[in-house]
């Protein structure tokens, strides 16, 4: 009996288990949808035409179609974006051409799921940094009165209403009452523009400029990376008090320029900067000479194209200071913020007019448009009256000489008045003859082969032009530009030859009958995830590095090939140590606050480097490789290139002296 009962219960138990295991499923696993970007109160940086591309990134576990729409009330903005699948469960896409304005509503549909994100804006975004008066050390906390002002929280990767203390991850960033200038600036700028304004704070109390560049840079870099999907107008720096007394001005300027260059490299384009004029440290320190020299140094770092002179705060004394007489009171914070808003609006957001000087005779000079923003490249149309031509080198903007042929210039934050001298063809030829006389006196042996050859060719072309009866004014202009450019681009040899080699005697022939085409100014390229990229201009008000300047980085020598305009470039000239076994060709090269893309490898760059076994190429912008660039390098040379450029670079590098066993991977 007992055995039968046991067997009976065993059968029942097995039957129950079978029922559990093989019962038909009543439904499928629930789909999960989460919107990662944007979060509520997020702001996307608009461009100078008041539009932005709103990037959307989600996590979705289902298989249905995923789309995103943006609404202003009941009105849909832009076109519905179909999000495409990336790695894992990530889907991404962009809603294009969304106008700047108030808060919008984002709706994401994925299969049977739907999510809504309220308060998504298109407006102005800023990264702020510096020392205590750039962050939370004011005497009293402030809050933005406008609902359109947001602050990004790097600790949670979310946006919130802009109220002190500002969220930050930079460590020692709060003291006294915890107040900052950014809620006030946001209110003032929103009132001027009518669009949302957002901030991320990276300031550190008592930080010197070199410390911001080194041990405190992580907060700046994280802010740059976190906000890449949204974009940013500029980096706003309020710093100098800690360096006024003891830091040499040359060192300060170098550190500041290096900091600017690093942020631009990390941003992927030449990020706008605005640098406050600040030196006042404490009430007992009153060395006016040192204070003024600090502000002069800060101004010297600016070029009024993409690096702007910011507000001054040294004069905010008395009731504008906190009781410690070092940091700002609530009244001072509000005034500080208003000053930032004025500078940013006037120098970065306002468009300025371009016109011709009314005293210009015998020709017309005009821009493609009548207004431009600071940092824009102005393409210029130059047309002389019948029989008249622009004298090369006479084109000026507000009294400053610009492009030799008057083809373009970079707009500053001011109205631009253009002029130039128009002359007859006989006068043009006379000017070319003068330049030829100067050029032929130059000793070619003192200069690198590439630049010396360019000068020789320019001399030959110039002499051909002046003996041609039917030569045109345009041809003479072209020859003159090439000749002047070749002279200013000469690169001195590191070790000059002992025996001078004179320039060859030219054998003139007839000049071509067709005028050579003039090179257009480089176009601004928009960067992914950045609605308002501001392209490259100098990081210092000091003289722009000349075309032909040699830069050494990582043992590789680069030569500047394009030094004006928004796109600056260098070529790989060679290697300082010819016995090196491995080298890296950089993606970009920083020099005196400027950022240069590596776009070319010069003729014989690695000639006779028999020990060179590996070249790592980081640049994705190389479009030209000179003859014999790899001639007589190691027979088993390995060249490692970016994956997406493998096919193109294999074709580009072949036939440039590589051995049969060389490998491009």
Closest to 321 (Cα-Cα) out of 474, 453, 176, 519: 176
> Cα 198 to the chain's mean position, in Å?
20
**What are φ and ψ of residue 585, in 5° steps?**
-90, 120
Residue 1 has pLDDT above 70, yes or no: no
Residue 610 has pLDDT above 90, yes or no: no
Mean pLDDT of all residues in 110-119: 96
The tens digit of pLDDT for each residue in 183-226 reads 999 999 999 999 999 999 999 999 999 999 999 999 999 999 99
Superfamily of chain region 125-349: SGNH hydrolase (3.40.50.1110)
Closest to 363 (Cα-Cα) out of 379, 386, 332: 386
Residue 580 has pLDDT above 60, yes or no: yes
End-to-end CA distance of the chain: 80
The percent of residues above 70 in pLDDT, for the chain, comes to: 86
Q: Give me the torsion for CA of 507, 511, 512, 516, rounded to 10°.
A: 100
Q: How confident is the model at residue 525 (pLDDT cuts 50, 70, 90)?
A: very low
Between 171 and 153, whose confidence is greater?
Answer: 153
Is the domain defined by 550-664 classed in CATH 3.80.10? yes
Closest to 167 (Cα-Cα) out of 222, 233, 105, 229: 222
- The side-by-side arrangement of strands in the sheet containing 400-401 is 371-372, 352-356, 416-419, 396-397, 400-401
Closest to 81 (Cα-Cα) out of 71, 67, 91: 67
The domains of the chain are located at: 33-120, 125-349, 352-423, 426-488, 550-664
| Predicted model pTM | 0.73
Q: How confident is the model at residue 17 (pLDDT cuts 50, 70, 90)?
A: very low
Q: Give me the torsion for CA of 372, 224, 538, 551, rounded to 10°.
A: -140
CB atoms within 10 A of CB 501: 11
Cα–Cα distances (Å) from 472 to 77, 508, 517, 647, in that order, read 53, 17, 13, 43
H/E segment holding residue 251: helix 249-267
**What are φ and ψ of residue 343, in 5° steps?**
-65, -50
Mean pLDDT of all residues in 138-166: 97
Q: Give me the torsion for CA of 573, 578, 584, 585, rounded to 10°.
A: 10
Tokens of 530: 């950045």
Q: How confident is the model at residue 172 (pLDDT cuts 50, 70, 90)?
A: low
| Sequence-distant (≥ 6) Cβ neighbours of residue 551 within 8 angstroms | 557, 558, 559, 560, 570, 589, 591, 596
Question: In DSSP terms, which residues pair with 364 in a beta bridge?
Answer: 383
Helix 288-300 vs helix 249-267: crossing angle, to nearest 10: 30
Residue 506 has pLDDT above 90, yes or no: no
Highest mean pLDDT among 14-23, 115-124, 585-594: 115-124
Average pLDDT, the chain: 87
The pLDDT assigned to 622 comes to 94
Per DSSP, the three-state class of 21 is helix
Residue range 33-120, CATH number = 2.60.40.10
CA distance 23 to 15: 12
| Sequence-distant (≥ 6) Cβ neighbours of residue 351 within 8 angstroms | 48, 371, 372, 373
| Sequence-distant (≥ 6) Cβ neighbours of residue 266 within 8 angstroms | 221, 224, 225
Say if strands 408-410 and 377-384 run parallel, antiparallel, or are unpaired.
Answer: antiparallel
């Amino acid at each position: 009996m007992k055995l039968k009962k046991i067997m009976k219960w065993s059968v029942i138990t097995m039957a129950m288990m079978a029922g559990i295991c093989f019962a038909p499923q009543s439904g499928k696993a629930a789909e999960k949808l989460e919107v990662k970007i944007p979060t509520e109160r997020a702001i996307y940086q608009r461009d100078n035409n008041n539009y932005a591309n709103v990037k959307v990134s989600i996590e979705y576990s289902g298989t249905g179609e995923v789309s995103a729409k943006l609404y202003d009330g009941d009105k849909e903005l832009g076109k519905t974006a179909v999000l495409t699948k990336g790695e894992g469960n990530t889907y991404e896409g962009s809603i294009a051409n969304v106008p700047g304005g108030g808060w919008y509503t984002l709706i994401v549909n994925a299969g049977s799921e739907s999510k809504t994100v309220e308060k998504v804006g298109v407006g102005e975004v800023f990264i702020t940094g510096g020392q205590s008066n750039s962050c939370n050390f004011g005497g009293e906390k402030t809050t933005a009165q406008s609902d359109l002002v947001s602050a990004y929280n790097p600790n949670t990767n979310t946006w919130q209403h802009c109220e002190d203390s500002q969220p930050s991850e930079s460590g020692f960033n709060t003291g006294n009452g915890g107040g900052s200038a950014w809620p006030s600036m946001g209110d003032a700028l929103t009132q001027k523009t009518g669009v949302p304004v957002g901030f991320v704070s990276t300031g550190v109390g008592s930080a010197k400029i070199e410390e911001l560049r080194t041990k405190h840079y992580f907060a700046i870099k994280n802010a740059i990376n976190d906000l890449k999907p949204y974009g940013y107008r500029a980096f706003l720096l309020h710093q100098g008090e800690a360096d006024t007394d003891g830091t040499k001005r040359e060192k300060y300027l170098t550190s500041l320029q290096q900091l600017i260059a690093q942020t631009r490299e990390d941003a992927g384009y030449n990020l706008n900067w605005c640098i406050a004029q600040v030196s006042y440290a404490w009430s007992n320190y009153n060395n006016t000479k040192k204070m003024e020299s600090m502000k002069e140094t800060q101004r010297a770092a600016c070029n009024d194209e993409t690096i702007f002179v910011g507000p001054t705060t040294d004069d905010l004394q008395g009731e504008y200071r906190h009781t410690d007489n070092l940091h700002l009171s609530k009244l001072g914070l509000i005034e500080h913020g208003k000053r930032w808003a004025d500078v940013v609006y006037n120098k970065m957001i306002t468009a300025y007019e371009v016109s011709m000087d009314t005293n210009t005779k015998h020709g017309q000079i005009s821009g493609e448009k009548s207004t431009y923003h600071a940092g824009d490249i102005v393409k210029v149309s130059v047309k002389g009256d019948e029989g008249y031509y622009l004298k090369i080198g006479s084109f000026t903007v507000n009294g400053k000489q610009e492009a030799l042929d008057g083809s373009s210039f970079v707009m500053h934050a001011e109205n631009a008045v253009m002029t130039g001298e128009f002359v007859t063809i006989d006068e043009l030829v006379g000017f070319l003859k003068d330049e030829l006389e100067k050029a032929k006196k130059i000793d070619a042996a003192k200069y690198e082969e590439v630049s010396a050859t360019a000068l020789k060719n320019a001399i030959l072309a110039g002499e051909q032009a002046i003996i041609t009866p039917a030569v045109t004014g345009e041809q003479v202009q072209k020859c003159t530009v090439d000749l002047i450019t070749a002279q200013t681009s000469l690169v001195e040899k590191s070790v000059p030859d002992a025996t001078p080699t004179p320039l060859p005697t030219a054998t003139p022939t007839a000049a071509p009958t067709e005028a050579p085409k003039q090179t257009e100014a480089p176009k601004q390229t928009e960067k992914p995830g950045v609605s308002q990229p501001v392209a490259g201009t100098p990081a210092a008000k000091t003289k722009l590095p000349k075309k032909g300047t040699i830069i050494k980085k990582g043992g590789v020598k680069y030569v500047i090939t394009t030094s004006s305009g928004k796109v600056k470039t260098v070529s790989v000239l060679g290697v300082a140590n010819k016995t090196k076994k491995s080298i890296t060709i950089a993606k970009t090269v920083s020099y005196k606050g400027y950022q240069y893309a590596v776009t070319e490898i010069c003729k014989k760059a690695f000639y006779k480097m028999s020990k060179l076994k590996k070249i790592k190429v980081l640049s994705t912008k190389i479009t030209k490789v000179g003859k014999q660039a790899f001639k007589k390098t190691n027979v088993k040379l390995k060249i490692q290139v970016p994956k997406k450029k493998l096919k193109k670079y294999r074709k580009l590098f072949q036939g440039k002296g590589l051995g049969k066993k060389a490998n491009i991977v």
